[in-house]
Amino acid sequence: MTHFSWTKQWYPVTPISYIEPSHLTAITLLGKKLVIWRDQQQKWVAMDDVCPHKLVQLSLGSIDKNGNLMCRHHGWCFDGTGKCTNIPMLSDEKALETACKSERSQITTYPTQVLQGLLWIWADNSPTAFEDSTLKQPVLMPEFQLDSSATDWFMSEVPVGYTVSFESSFDPSHAQFLHNGIAGFSPERAIPMENFEVSGEISAENGFTLKHSGYNIFNKDMDATRQFSPPCSNTTIYKYSNGKSALFQLYFVPTKPGYCKHIGKFITDTFAQKRNFWFELLPKYLQTGLRHSSSYKLSNQDLSMMHSQAVNESLGDKPWQKSYFMPSLADVGIVTFRKWLDEFAGGKPAWQGMKEVPFQELSDEQLYDIWHRHTKHCPSCRQSLVLIDKVQDFCQNFTAVLAILGLLLIVVNLPTKIVLIPILLSLLSLICSYRIGLIRERFISSVPKKGLPVVDLYK
């Protein structure tokens, strides 16, 4: 039996649009902390996020004028190959040359490439890693009859592990119940799946393919294919009886125990997107940010179930086969993924350089934290926050100026109609500031600041 290697694989770690070439970006992959940046040759570099001098994070540093990574602590510099190029506190040229040539001053780097708008990293750091990486291609989104560039990649890092996250993507029938009220999902529209089966062989390197029928009154006649390609790709294609189709490209990247990065793109011709003239007048980044901030209800619903599942799994000492009761045909996808994981991949990701700690139940503030899940990773959402803060500051200052103006008009005894103008405008500005503050909170957390701090998943 072929055993699956977790490290000798290509992983998509982020959409290119999510990273700034002039900055250092810290990421975690399979429990290993890395820093990614673009060197002087415009190549993306991935290296261990630790300075060999005193073990501080290199991602806290910067890119110097020569295009090298400079450690913030003592100014040590490194090129795109991981070679040390400068140690400022060494003035003697011979000593500097000796120190820079030492293996102890080198940083391990990892193969990278950019494909389909994603940055991919080869997770292995063995001496033959760069050679090995050329022998295997990343699992890409397949060619599709629809324009894939019309939809952007969306990425979030959720406080739920790889196994539970991936398992959920092979369980389509949950949508009718868990996502009641969103996109037409409703328990009343659910129908039992008539077909759900494995197509072809299951293997360590190629994963498996699932085929299934519909699960609600709208898609009951569709043919669906779900292709699991290790280590992290689920490509799902829906073909409907009316000739329409949809593609879901999902990647589940294991970052560290209890956390998983979700990267996805949804392409469809089943419905035309409504255009809003006034909305399209806003800056593009703000349009993107507002769309992102209004889309968390569905993912919050998924998180609530997956987290509760992880909590209960951690409390028991039984394997999933004895813990789960799977009498339905709709459970074939879950069972198949779990069997692949157990048979070929050791039952879970092989964490590198990080010990797996006992599972910790999260509070609502931790589970529904939007800043750490998405906003801090997304440049559009970060820019939106900056703009929102500026507008809110303007409204607050404008409110104060108008209030003072109103008082001055009262002092000089002008007619009431004139006095009311700045006072009414100040009230309007105050209301705008308050409403903008509520919008700002959507980028930070799903836990409401007003009223009870309880996330209503079905409001």
Does residue 450 lie in a domain region? Answer: no
- On whether residue 139 sits in a domain, the answer given is no
In tens, the pLDDT along 45-59 reads 999 999 999 999 999
- pLDDT band at residue 271 under the 50/70/90 scheme: low
Same domain, 211 and 122: no
Does 196 share its domain with 58? no
343: pLDDT strictly greater than 80: yes
Q: Are residues 231 and 290 in the same domain?
A: yes
**Start-end of H helices in 260-378:** 284-293, 296-315, 320-323, 332-344, 364-367, 370
DSSP state of 253: E
| Residues 177, 292 within the same domain | yes
Encode 216-246: b = buried (16+ Cβ within 10 Å), e = exposed: beebeebbbebbbbbbbbbbbbbebeeeebb
Residues 70 and 109 in one domain: yes
Residue written as token pair 């280590």: 231
Question: Do 247 and 152 share a domain, yes or no?
Answer: yes
- pLDDT at position 3 is 87
What is the number of domains present in the chain? 3
Question: Region 87-113: what's the mean pLDDT?
Answer: 94
Q: Is there a single domain that holds both residue 211 and residue 273?
A: yes
- Does residue 180 sit in the same domain as residue 312? yes
pLDDT digits (tens, 9 = 90+) for 117-176: 999 999 999 999 999 999 999 999 998 776 777 789 999 999 999 999 999 999 999 999
Confidence (pTM):
0.93
Q: Which range (187-191, 313-317, 320-324, 422-426) has the least confidence?
A: 313-317
| 178/116 same-domain check | no
Residue 185 forms part of a structural domain? yes
Residue 52 lies in a domain: yes
pLDDT at 49 (0 to 100): 97
Q: Residue 377 burial (CB < 10 Å; 0-12/13-18/19+)?
A: buried
On whether residue 437 sits in a domain, the answer given is yes
Range of the domain at 435: 379-441
pLDDT of residue 272: 61
Q: Residue 18: give its domain's CATH number.
A: 2.102.10.10
What is the structure's pLDDT at 411? Answer: 87
Which CATH number covers residue 262? 3.30.530.20
Q: What is the mean pLDDT of the chain?
A: 93
Same domain membership, residue 330 and residue 187: yes
Instruction: Give me the phi and psi of 67, to 5 degrees please.
Output: 80, 15
Tokens (6 digits) for 283: 């800056």
Domain membership of residue 345 (yes or no) is yes
Q: Which pLDDT score is estimated for 76?
A: 96
- The answer to whether residue 117 is domain-embedded is yes
Phi then psi for 46, rounded to 5 degrees?
Answer: -125, 125
What is the structure's pLDDT at 216? 94
Residues 37, 104: one domain? yes
- What is the H or E stretch that residue 175 is in? helix 175-178
**What was the pLDDT predicted at 1?**
52
Q: Answer whether residue 448 is part of any domain.
A: no
Q: Which residue has the tokens 């295997």?
A: 136
pLDDT value, residue 459: 78
Question: Is the domain of 50 the same as that of 115?
Answer: yes
Give pLDDT tens digits for 361-387. Answer: 999 999 999 999 999 999 999 999 999
Confidence of residue 273 (pLDDT cuts 50, 70, 90): low
Residue 270 has pLDDT above 60, yes or no: yes
